[in-house]
Every structure is written in C-alpha cells, then in structure tokens.
Structure 1
Amino acid sequence: MTQPPHIPPKPPEGPGTDDAGSVVMERRAQRVEPPKLYQVVMLNDDYTPMEFVIAVLQELFGKDRETATQIMLKIHLDGRGVCGVYPRDIAATKVDQVHQAAAKAGHPLQATLEPVE
C-alpha cells in the first residue's frame, strides 16, 4: 500500500506570518531626531573692512546685498551677528570658509558656531 506524502500542518495565519507560513517581521516606525542646528556667528574686529564682511556674507552665506548690509551693521554695532543656521557639519564648514577667505585677504575676521537652543 502506498502512503500519501507527508504534508506539514499549516501554521496559523495572522500577524507575523504570510500565506506561505514564513515569519514576517512587523515594521515599526522609527523616530529619527532632526539634526541639531548650529548658528554661525561672525565677530566684530576693528580692522576688517565693512565691504569685505558684506562680500563674505553674500558669497558664502547667499545673502542679498540688503540683508548682508543689515547683518554687517549688527556685527559692527553689537560685536557679533548670526550669519546663518545649519546642521553642525555645514556650520563648521562655513566657519572654515570665513577664516580661509579672511586669511587670503589679510583680514583678522573671525567666526564661530554655537548650538541653537
């Protein structure tokens, strides 16, 4: 007498299995925090020409002439001014670019990055 082939019992269907009995992992939504932001702050000095500061703000930070002039005046009058807000790596790159441009032009212009609270 011939025996029928053995067919394993089907696992119960429901969460965690598919039609073929394979185990399926549930996808859980992951909460990814947005990157922490940093502001690039340019510092006033008594030697860097105002026109150079305006040019740096336009070229490196993409500011129009009017906005660059307003930021430059804030730097001049308050001793510091925010040039832009970026993720940490971009802010650090912007600070380096300011320092390189100032050194190339022979100016002591300084910029720092600070975490945005």
Structure 2
Amino acid sequence: MHNDDYTTMEFVVQVLEAVFRKPPTEANQIMLNIHLKGVGLCGVYPHEIAETKVDKVHAMARSEGFPLRCSMEQV
C-alpha cells in the first residue's frame, strides 16, 4: 500500500483488517510503516490472490472517496 495525503489512518487499518485479515496490532504497525516510509508490505500471496486483494482495496477506497493505492510486486 502507498501513502497519500487524504486517506485516513483509521481507514487504512480497517482495510488491512478486512482485506488482508491482519489483527489490529499488526494492522496498526503496517499503517505506521505506510505513513512513515511511504509504502508498506501487506503480505505475500500467489498472483491471483494478490490481484483480487488489490482490486478489493481499490473498490473499498473508491466507495469511501479515498485515493488509496495498492500495488503488487513479484518477489
């Protein structure tokens, strides 16, 4: 996930818990990494699952009016 100046920290935590099934403590830590470093790792998944999760993040963000961006990289 990528940091931006508009998406709230609370929403990022909500997305991490809902889409990536992170417990609250881990979701908060990832959110802080995103906020402080500009980008944060949400998990490592097979390609198809990663695509679905990226699409879900973008759909949730659009529905709330946030420009949150999520991307995937090959590892």
TM-score by length of 1: 0.64
CA distance in structure 2 between the aligned counterparts of 1:59 and 1:94, rounded to whole angstroms = 10
Q: Which has the larger radius of gyration?
A: 1
Q: What is aligned with 1:82? A: 41
CA distance in 1 between counterparts of 2:19 and 2:52 reads 10
Unaligned 5+ runs, structure 1: 1-41
Q: Verify: 1:109 aligned to 2:68, yes or no.
A: yes
Unaligned runs of at least 5 residues, structure 2 = none
| Structure showing greater relative contact order (alpha-carbon pairs closer than 8 Å, 6 or more residues apart) | 2
* Structure number with higher helix proportion: 2
Percent identity of equivalent pairs = 57
1:58 and 2:6 aligned: no
Q: CA RMSD in A?
A: 0.3
1:97 counterpart residue number: 56
Count of residues in Structure 1 that have an aligned counterpart in Structure 2: 75
Distance (Å, rounded) in 2 between the aligned partners of 1:78 and 1:43: 9
